[in-house]
Structure formats: C-alpha cells, structure tokens
Structure 1
Amino acid sequence: MSENKTLIIPGMKIALVPCPALGDTTLFLRLAWRLQAAGAQVTLASVSLASVRDYLPGLAIVGGTPDVMGLAACSDLVICAIDWQVEAPLSNVAYLAGKKLPRGFKPEQQPVSLQGREIAGAHNVICRDPKAGKTMVQWIDLYAQEVLGLDAAQPVAGLQALPALANDADRRVAIFPTTPHASKNYSPSGFRRLARRLVARGWLVEFVGIPSEQQMLSDEYPGYPVHAFSDLKGLIDFLRTCSVVVSNDSGGGHLGSLMGLRTFTVTRRRSDFTWRPGFNELNCVINPVLSFKWLGKTVWRPFIPLRRIVQALPNWKGRQA
C-alpha cells in the first residue's frame, strides 16, 4: 500500500461503471465518494443514478448503456463491474466482481496502469473472504485503501440536498418484500404478521416494490399503501418519509442504510453474512432460529423471529402523532 499512497492525485479523471443492481450501485457510489475526497474528477456511468444527479454534487453522472471503451478513451482510469466487460483488453480499465471473476478471465494477462504506474490487484473481487464477517462496504473500502491507496478513514460526502424529512418519518417503516430471487424472499404471510404487529404498536407501515409488482403486492397486502417508483429519485424521496427499512437481502436495505435509516434484513443466512447493509451501525440481521432440509430445499421461513424486529422498535401506541 505504501507504494500506492499517491496513486490518485487531484484532477485525475476516474470513471466508475457499476452493474445495474441497486446494492452494487451503492457500493460504487461509496468508491466514487472516496475518490472524490482524494480530489479526483469522478464520472459514474449508471442508468439508475441519472435521476439523482442533484443529490450527487461534484460527480458527473452519465445515463444510458455504459460505453466502457469511450470512457477509457477520455479517463485516466475506469473501474468497471465485470458485468460490462468488453472483449478488447484496455490498459486503463480495471474489472471488479462481487465475489468471483469469470473462470476465463486472466487478470495477469491484462495489467492495469494509471499514468504509467501499474496498479497491483486492480482486477479483483470485492469480497475476498466471505467468512471474514466484513460487510461489502468494508470490503470496498479495503479495495480503495489497499489497491488505490485512498484514505479509508476520511469522511465521504454522501447524498446531498435531499428533501426535508417528513414530520411523521420517525414512525414510518418501509417493507421491501421481494427480490429478483424467490429463494431469498420471506413469506408474504410473515410480512403481513409483522405489519399487523407494528401497526398495533402505532407504526405506519408501507410496502415497496418495482412497478411490475405493484398490483400483485397490493393484492398480497390489502389495507396497506404499496409504492412502486419509476426511478431511483422517487424511491429516495419516499425513504425520506421513513426511519426504518425491513427487507430481504436486497437493494432496498442497502439504500436505506446508505441514507442513515435503521434496517432489518430478513434472511436465511448467518448474521454476519457479507452482503448485509453496512453503511451505518443501525442494521440488524434477522435469521431463522433453526432451519432444515426437506426434499432438497431449505425450510427457514417459519422460524424467523419477528419479535426481534417488533421489540427493537419503540411503541408509538397512545403517543401523540
């Protein structure tokens, strides 16, 4: 690391290309802010971030399908999610994967250099040891520190110029009940039980999904507001009306954590699993008290201790709204 202490100097042009998933995008945002703090001119190529340019002062946001080769031509360095890998080897493009690079990818055959200096470990995985107990935020900070020579102790900017907090935000909880992977999802009946118990304690409970799910979620959670947003700005603005996020292992929890909200992650994984919200200290992983295999599948949903969420939150019942 000592050799890389001055690797990033003020004025360097660095482009970041996250994969489309919301959780991954929040990690690349963290890296962008670290580079920005070091004085780099940072460009983020992201469809989802295009709607929140106003919340990201100092960062250049490019929407549309990322043009990795074009970014390489006008940047000193590009750090790109492996999802957008191009066939042509580019000497200033570093590829990052979450936990595993493709089998055919040979990092040693594609050295990465920045203004004539080779960057050791530029092609890498973010999580190098899933059993280490670190969050993905801690892993991306380690990449920034050990590979790019950035100061991981320096504060980062975070989202700026956000809408004012809603007056009743303290007592509103947003539940994200779905993910693109059904095996990760807690049961609708379980989320309905949780919602009833929270409402009984005076909480305002609202559900969030993607637009194609809105009708299905409205049918599954009758009597509760169900939101779906066409862009990231709508979701961020809504979360400014909340103080708590409950989600599966999904992007909603990461975004809530990034925004400083208290998050509860419902998962069958161990409590220190790598991909848990880690942007603040207010995250709690809710996993089953037991699980077992049955006909080749893991049975875990009936054993989620919802009481841990309910008991961890204040009782608003009887208090003045």
Structure 2
Amino acid sequence: MKAKLEGAASIAVVMPTAIGDTLLMMVLVNNLIRNGYRLTVFSWVVKDLADWFPGIDVRNECEQQDAAGQFELVIQLRATPCGKALAASGEVCEIVGFDAFQVPGHMIDMIVAVARDEFGLADITRHNGITVPNWIRFRAYERRVAIHPTGSHIEKMWPRKKFVALAQKLVQRDFQPTLLVAPCERQTWLMDKDAAQRLHSFERLADVAAWIAESGWFIGNDSGLGHLASALGVPTLSLFMRRGIARTWRPNWGRGAIVLPYNLFVVGALKERYWKLALTGSSVLRSFDRLRLEEDPRGS
C-alpha cells in the first residue's frame, strides 16, 4: 500500500456518514497532509465544519458524481457506494482490512498504526486536525454542561427521564445543563415540560460545535458528539453499555471519562439488554464529580 500511496498523483478520502467515524478518519487525513500529501475529502461533516478544519479540500456528497474517475487512489474506512466510481482504475483502499484492525484496541490507535505501518508516514499524530475558530470563546461558559441525550442507535441511548433527572441534579449543583437534540427530535422532547426549558437545537453541525466548544463540560451517550467534544478539548463524560465497546469507541482526545452500568450480568447479551436499568443517575453524577476534580483539583 505504501508504494500505491506514493505513486498516486490524486487521492480522495471518502468519509462515512456518521459524525464520530468521520472525526476518527480525519486522524488519517491529518497525518497524510502533515506528511506532504494533497487530497480531497468527501464528507458532509467536514464540509459543515470547514472553518474548523482549515485548509482541507472538502466536497459534499452532491459533488461526488461530478468527480467520477478523477482519483488514482480512493481511501475509505469501509466500502461506500461511491468509492469505486471516484477511482480512475477502481483502486480503492478500505482501511478496516489492514492488520491494525484485527487486534482489539482503540480506533484512534488503529488508524495511527495504519498511517505509520501501512502507509509508511514518518510524522505521526493522534489528533485529527480540528481547530477552534478564533471567534469562538472556548469554554467561556464554564458552568454550562452540554448534554447529548440522543444518538443514531436507540440501543445506545440512556432513557430520557434519566437525562432529565440528571439535568435537574446539575441545576441543584449550580450548573447550567442544556439538552442538545437534532431538529427532527425537537418536537418529541418539547412534550416533556421538564426537558423543554433546557432544549437546544441547531440546523448546522458547525453551530453544534460552537455550542459545545463554549460549554465547560459535555455529557452524552456513545455518539458522534462525544467525539466532537473530546477533539475540541472539552472535558467529556460518555455513557457506555459495555466496557469492551468503550475500549474501542470511547472519545479519546481531550480529558474525559466513561461511566458503565453496574456489572449485574455475566452474559453480554443481558448486559446490552438491561444496561439502561443498571446505569444509575447517581453513578453518572459521581463520575462527573471525579472528572471535575481531575480537571480542577480545587473542586470549584
């Protein structure tokens, strides 16, 4: 693969649609760029965060058809419908097929291993290249807690009533919790009067990023916004159903922690079925307190 990379005059990276997967794949993009390679990224996520990824040649999905056959090498995390169409000779590299992905570990470390061992890059970093624009007041609202109570997979979502109760407990501790939901989810959440007063929705991912970046803390499910908060450097607490999933997928850039349900079940299937019951609000609060003390030992 190293030889193919070095000989490719034009390189495209086709991103997954998921926010978290895209932010992780940007680690590879960042390493390619810092080692002198020029490439084009196809991604709605990066397009919407263009000001947060300066200098990236990025196009959205609508522009893929016009770029058919223009690239000597196309890199993907996994196969996508348009990958081969973009490649002039059908040369497509799916990095999940490399040896680094056959050994359990964190996704960032797997991608770094691909950059170093498979692509032969010398100047390596774990960061994905995201930067906070200078008009954003980073963590200006230090008592504000951005909470993401939803996600793309319902089985990974802690119950709404528990998130609302958590927000109420944070208010009692003089924090300002906010519930971030997608516009399409807003109407459902507005029906809960306790949630409605803390609800925030944004049409653009860049506006979500700005809200998170100016917050003091982030709490959320196993979802892409946790990776976004972590990459931005906002202390992040993530709720996971199982330790093995967290080992691979936890947000792992800035300071952060995970919270897991009580280990009541031996069989993995039962853990995944009942984790929402076994993960209590008090354990989430305790984990948040520990994260705060790590960030500020004075406990302010």
**TM tier, smaller:** 0.7 to 0.9
Aligned match of 1:278: 252
Counterpart residue identity of residue 93, structure 2:
A
Aligned match of 1:148: 119
Aligned match of 1:239: 212
SS of alignment partner, residue 197 of structure 1 = helix
Aligned match of 2:102: 128
The alignment of Structure 1 onto Structure 2 pairs a total of residues equal to: 283
SS of alignment partner, residue 243 of structure 2 = coil
Distance in 2 (CA, whole Å) between partners of 1:265 and 1:167 is 18
Distance in 2 (CA, whole Å) between partners of 1:311 and 1:12 is 51
**Measured at CA, do residues 151 and 209 of structure 1 come closer, stay the same or move farther in structure 2, by a change above 3 Å?**
farther
Aligned match of 1:83: 80
Matches within 5 A, 1:208-247: 208-220=180-192, 221-222=194-195, 224-247=197-220
**Measured at CA, do residues 39 and 165 of structure 1 come closer, stay the same or move farther in structure 2, by a change above 3 Å?**
same
Q: CA deviation at 1:284?
A: 1.0
Q: CA deviation at 1:160?
A: 5.0
Retained in 2: the 8 A contact 1:47–1:62?
yes
1:257 aligns with 2:254: no
Counterpart residue identity of residue 174, structure 1:
A
Retained in 2: the 8 A contact 1:207–1:224?
no
Alignment partner of 1:181 out of 138, 153, 161: 153
Retained in 1: the 8 A contact 2:100–2:110?
yes
Question: What does the per-residue CA deviation read over 1:171-217, in whole Å, with 9 as the maximum and x for residues that have no partner?
Answer: 11111111122111111122122212211111110011111101222
Distance in 1 (CA, whole Å) between partners of 2:199 and 2:278 is 26
Aligned match of 1:193: 165
Retained in 1: the 8 A contact 2:256–2:291?
no
Question: What does the per-residue CA deviation read over 1:81-102, in whole Å, with 9 as the maximum and x for residues that have no partner?
Answer: 41335567845321244xxxxx
Aligned match of 1:25: 22
Distance in 2 (CA, whole Å) between partners of 1:311 and 1:154 is 30
Q: Which has the higher helix share?
A: 2
TM (normalized to structure 1)? 0.76
Aligned match of 1:74: 70
Retained in 1: the 8 A contact 2:157–2:221?
yes
- % identical aligned pairs: 24
Distance in 2 (CA, whole Å) between partners of 1:136 and 1:252 is 16
Alignment partner of 2:53 out of 42, 45, 56: 56
Q: CA deviation at 1:166?
A: 5.6
1:248 aligns with 2:221: yes
Retained in 1: the 8 A contact 2:218–2:226?
yes
Aligned match of 1:102: none
Retained in 2: the 8 A contact 1:57–1:160?
no
SS of alignment partner, residue 248 of structure 2 = coil
Matches within 5 A, 1:94-133: 94-97=93-96, 123-124=97-98, 127-129=101-103, 132=104
Q: CA deviation at 1:28?
A: 1.9
Q: CA deviation at 1:136?
A: 1.1
Retained in 1: the 8 A contact 2:179–2:195?
no
Q: CA RMSD in A?
A: 3.2
Range moving further from structure 2, 271-280 or 142-151:
271-280
Distance in 2 (CA, whole Å) between partners of 1:168 and 1:18 is 32
**Measured at CA, do residues 127 and 63 of structure 1 come closer, stay the same or move farther in structure 2, by a change above 3 Å?**
same
SS of alignment partner, residue 127 of structure 1 = helix
Question: What does the per-residue CA deviation read over 1:276-307, in whole Å, with 9 as the maximum and x for residues that have no partner?
Answer: 11123x121111112447x9772122322223
1:267 aligns with 2:240: yes
1:308 aligns with 2:286: yes
Question: What does the per-residue CA deviation read over 1:97-124, in whole Å, with 9 as the maximum and x for residues that have no partner?
Answer: 4xxxxxxxxxxxxxxxxxxxxxxxxx54
- 5+ residue gaps, structure 2: 294-299
